[in-house]
Amino acid sequence: MADDLRRHGCVIGLDVGGTGIKGAVLDRGLRPLATVRRHTPRADGPQAVVDAVTDALLTLNREAARRGLPVHRAGVVVPGIVDDDLQRAVWSANIGWRDLPLAAILGARTGLSVTLGHDVRAGGMAECTLGAARDVRNVLFVAIGTGIAAALLCDGAPVRADGHAGELGHVVVGTEKTPCSCGGFGCLETVASATAVAAAYTARTGRTVTGAADVAALTAEGDPVAEAVWARAVTGLADALATTTALLAPELVVLGGGLAEAGPLLLDPVRAALEERLSFHRRPVLVRAELGDRAGCLGAGLAAWQAAGHAPAARRTGVPVA
């Protein structure tokens, strides 16, 4: 096993989210050999995030070296608009960077060959390769966390549109005009992101909650304010999914991210509300993501192996990332 590892080497996968950074040294089977988890210091500005990403990559590179493993490439995936061809982080409402040649910057700082990608597109490809959407040709993967974004697979091909596709979180829903971090008003993120759900409960009750998971637990217990906040999120999600279904006719909708951890508490009412909004449309099957918060890191690893010219020998199961 050790000889095989040294012969095949490894890649680094790093998923940079609005809340946390998750990374791993990954072998050809996308099994983690070493992992890191860090807080994303977005409150300290975009440069602080770049510094934290650099430090995480260097930490993982040292772990690979300690095991005597050559690192073929590092895959780094980030939120916002990412131009895969130019390898630039074009824009991110949650982190604040604009038109940043991030792959080149990280490569210069670490000495690694870096492939930059979009966090949700990477997570979607991981779900399509390893998880809930394996072998499905028309998929909508929606990640609901600090923000909301989607990855689209149409007729078996990912939709990128120069990095602009998939901004489901900035589809306007309902009649409310809550300001969004993007500069718009009434975006889906303002009612259905994990951040928005927690903030709405606190605003209505004056009681601080640690996150959307607390609101989910209160909803399950029958707290009327939590139920109202949750219903508002469900309505917004169903509206946005109905619009996407009419345009793209996915066979499968996969819900991931922190809010999807609520399982049936979220999926059942969203499924019912979406059904009410469709008529002649193809009705997608709605499921929970299988890979959880591992999807982005695994997707980054997939991209790194592909960029290095090697197909990863991963299977659908058995690829946990701590």
What is the pTM assigned to this prediction?
0.87
Q: Do 299 and 268 lie in a common domain?
A: no
State how far the alpha carbon of 253 is from the alpha carbons of 62, 128, 193, 258, 289, in Å.
39, 11, 17, 16, 9
pLDDT confidence of residue 321: 40
Which residue shows structure tokens 């602080």?
A: 48
Sign of the dihedral defined by the CA atoms of residues 274, 275, 280, 281, in that order: positive
318 occurs within a structural domain? no
Tens digit of each residue's pLDDT (9 = 90 or more) over 99-109: 999 999 999 99
**Residue range of the domain that includes 20:** 2-123+293-307
CA neighbours closer than 13 Å in the CB half-sphere of residue 7: 4
Q: Do 198 and 281 lie in a common domain?
A: yes
322 occurs within a structural domain? no
285 occurs within a structural domain? yes
Counted residue by residue, the chain has a size of: 322
314 occurs within a structural domain? no
Q: Strand pairing partners for 255?
A: 142, 288
Secondary structure element (H or E) that encloses residue 140, with its range: strand 139-144
Tens digit of each residue's pLDDT (9 = 90 or more) over 254-308: 999 889 999 999 999 999 999 999 999 999 999 999 998 899 999 999 999 999 9
Shortest CA distance to 173 belongs to which of 209, 194, 148, 136? 148
319 occurs within a structural domain? no
Q: Do 46 and 111 lie in a common domain?
A: yes
Structure tokens at 85: 């061809």
Residues 6+ apart with CB under 8 A from 112: 12, 57, 61, 71, 73, 74, 106
Give yes or no for residue 318 having a pLDDT over 50: no
Per-residue burial over 270-305, b = 16 or more CB atoms within 10 Å of its CB, e = otherwise: bbebbeeeeeeeeebebbbbbbbbbbbbbbbbbbbb
Q: Do 41 and 170 lie in a common domain?
A: no
Predicted confidence band of residue 18 (pLDDT cuts 50, 70, 90): confident
Which residue shows structure tokens 């299988």?
A: 290
How far apart CA 144 and CA 150 sit, in angstroms, is: 9
77 occurs within a structural domain? yes
Q: Do 144 and 170 lie in a common domain?
A: yes
Q: Do 92 and 144 lie in a common domain?
A: no
Q: Do 158 and 273 lie in a common domain?
A: yes
CATH, residue 30? 3.30.420.40
299 occurs within a structural domain? yes
Q: Do 142 and 115 lie in a common domain?
A: no
User: Where do runs of H (alpha helix) occur along 67-193?
Assistant: 102-110, 119-130, 189-192
Instruction: Tell me what the mean pLDDT of segment 35-55 comes to.
Output: 96
- As a whole number, the mean pLDDT across the chain is 92
Q: Do 299 and 277 lie in a common domain?
A: no
143 occurs within a structural domain? yes
Q: Do 279 and 145 lie in a common domain?
A: yes
Phi and psi at residue 215, in whole multiples of 5°? -65, -40
Domain count for the chain: 2
Q: Do 117 and 172 lie in a common domain?
A: no
Q: Do 194 and 105 lie in a common domain?
A: no
